[in-house]
């Protein structure tokens, strides 16, 4: 360990910043967390409303593949703080975790507040200081500039961790305004874009008025070679939910390149087309088509409505044609919902700007972590896992830097 008690400023009190603060303070340095909101961890708390999907239990190589183009970049950080390490860390803070049926990992309390409270106590025990309601505004010689309740200030720092998040749900704190500050320093920023987001579909008035708010359960949505399985919810002007979030990246890029794009919804992934034909032809002779779809195939009214929406006219009477439609209802998607409403952001600090210790190559002593870096991943716990892991990697980078 190097010289003890150097000053470190961590900007951003989300999971990435707090993870960095824990590592740096544990190494004996004085850490101040600067947070623009009145309290830390607001997005983490919001994630807690959905049960707080901390990480995923799938095998290491499948897990890492979820990060797509950023897999190689993130692998060292996640190898050094694995999903198992994250679960052990939560247990140490008094939060046992469990693996849900989908393989997703949640705290047993199914919320974020006990974990965040215990974590805050641990950080306070490590003498981490918090400056809330304080916005980071840039760099000054030997430190950073901030604006807080008492006006402008300069905080001295021997090293700085930036963990300001992306730009989704800006009312929770991360508003992406940091992009201008870093771009002015010559750091390449890949534009922030929505991911894990809903998409716009121009539903017919009839379909919208009958089915907005209804879930389509256990469906598969396809776009070229990508398939996303889960649930989607019909909204007034499109689709939300896991099954569509899982296609965000390729669908967003396809729309950007070619304009409105069709996805194909498989309303019955558990049956192949042949089984559907058999079930349909076995149905009672006098039954209406709607009744046969409901009874023989188990399609709820919203799924039958989507079939009619996708057919654009009457449903095919030939069972083979109908089965093909059930397995691939074409839905024309025109745009991604805005970034403010997305679960997370794609884009951010270009990975090529970041050294192996998570330091910015152009700005020695400045380290970065979390969603503000250019990577994206589906929901399922992959987002928080990468935020914790990169936060800790940046923390170790600072400790090494200060030991020089």
Report the interface residues with ligand FAD, using CB under 6 A: 11-17, 34-37, 42-44, 46-47, 50, 52-53, 135-136, 163-165, 168-169, 173-174, 178, 343-344, 370-371, 381, 383-384, 387
Quickly count: other Cβ atoms within 10 Å of residue 82's Cβ: 15
Give the H/E segment covering residue 182: helix 178-184
The minimum distance between CB 5 and ligand FAD, in angstroms, equals: 24
Give the H/E segment covering residue 49: helix 42-49
Closer residue to ligand FAD (CB): 89 or 169: 169
Closer residue to ligand FAD (CB): 16 or 276: 16
How many whole angstroms separate alpha carbon 384 and alpha carbon 336? Answer: 22
User: Could you tell me which residues are beta bridge partners of residue 265?
Assistant: 221, 329
The minimum distance between CB 50 and ligand FAD, in angstroms, equals: 5
| Nearest CA among 4, 17, 47 for reference residue 373 | 17
Closer residue to ligand FAD (CB): 135 or 337: 135
Quickly count: other Cβ atoms within 10 Å of residue 156's Cβ: 12
The minimum distance between CB 276 and ligand FAD, in angstroms, equals: 34
Closer residue to ligand FAD (CB): 83 or 381: 381
The minimum distance between CB 323 and ligand FAD, in angstroms, equals: 36
The minimum distance between CB 333 and ligand FAD, in angstroms, equals: 21
Give the tokens for residue 114: 């006990």
The minimum distance between CB 374 and ligand FAD, in angstroms, equals: 12
Closer residue to ligand FAD (CB): 18 or 279: 18
Closer residue to ligand FAD (CB): 195 or 261: 195
How many whole angstroms separate alpha carbon 41 and alpha carbon 388? Answer: 13
Closer residue to ligand FAD (CB): 136 or 211: 136
The minimum distance between CB 95 and ligand FAD, in angstroms, equals: 14
Quickly count: other Cβ atoms within 10 Å of residue 331's Cβ: 20
How many whole angstroms separate alpha carbon 75 and alpha carbon 389? Answer: 10
How many whole angstroms separate alpha carbon 61 and alpha carbon 379? Answer: 17
How far the first Cα of the chain sits from its last, in Å, is 10
Longest dimension (CA), the chain: 85
């Amino acid at each position: 360990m190097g010289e003890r008690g150097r000053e470190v400023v961590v900007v951003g009190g989300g999971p990435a910043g707090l993870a960095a603060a824990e590592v740096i303070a544990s190494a004996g340095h004085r850490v101040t967390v600067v947070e623009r909101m009145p309290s830390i961890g607001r997005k983490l708390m919001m994630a807690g409303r959905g049960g707080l999907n901390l990480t995923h239990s799938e095998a290491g190589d499948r897990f890492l593949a979820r990060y797509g183009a950023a897999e190689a970049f993130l692998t060292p950080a996640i190898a050094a703080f694995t999903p198992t390490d994250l679960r052990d860390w939560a247990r140490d803070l008094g939060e046992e975790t469990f693996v849900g049926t989908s393989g997703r990992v949640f705290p047993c309390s199914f919320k974020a507040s006990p974990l965040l409270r215990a974590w805050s106590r641990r950080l306070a025990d490590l003498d981490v200081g918090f400056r809330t309601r304080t916005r980071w505004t840039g760099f000054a010689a030997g430190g950073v500039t901030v604006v807080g309740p008492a006006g402008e200030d300069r905080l001295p720092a021997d090293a700085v961790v930036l963990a300001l998040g992306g730009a989704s749900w800006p009312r929770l704190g991360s508003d992406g305004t940091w992009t201008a500050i870093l771009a002015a320093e010559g750091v390449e920023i890949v534009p922030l874009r929505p991911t894990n987001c809903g998409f716009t579909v121009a539903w017919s008035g009839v379909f919208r008025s009958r089915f907005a708010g209804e879930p389509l359960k256990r469906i598969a949505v396809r776009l070229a070679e990508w398939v996303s399985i889960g649930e989607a919810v019909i909204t007034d002007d499109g689709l939300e939910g896991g099954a569509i979030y899982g296609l965000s990246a390729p669908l967003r890029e396809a729309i950007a390149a070619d304009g409105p794009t069709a996805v194909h919804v498989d309303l019955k992934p558990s049956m192949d087309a042949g089984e559907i034909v058999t079930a349909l032809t076995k149905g009672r002779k006098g039954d209406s088509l709607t009744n046969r779809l409901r009874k023989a195939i188990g399609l709820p009214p919203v799924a039958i409505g989507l079939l009619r929406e996708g057919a654009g006219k009457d449903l095919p009477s030939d069972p083979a044609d109908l089965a093909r439609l059930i397995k691939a209802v074409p839905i024309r998607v025109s745009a991604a919902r805005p970034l403010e409403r997305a679960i997370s952001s794609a884009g951010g600090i270009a990975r090529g700007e970041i050294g192996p210790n998570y330091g910015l190559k152009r700005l020695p002593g400045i380290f970065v972590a979390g969603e503000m870096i250019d990577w994206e991943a589906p929901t399922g716990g992959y987002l928080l896992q990468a935020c914790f892991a990169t936060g800790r990697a940046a923390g170790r980078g600072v400790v090494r830097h200060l030991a020089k």
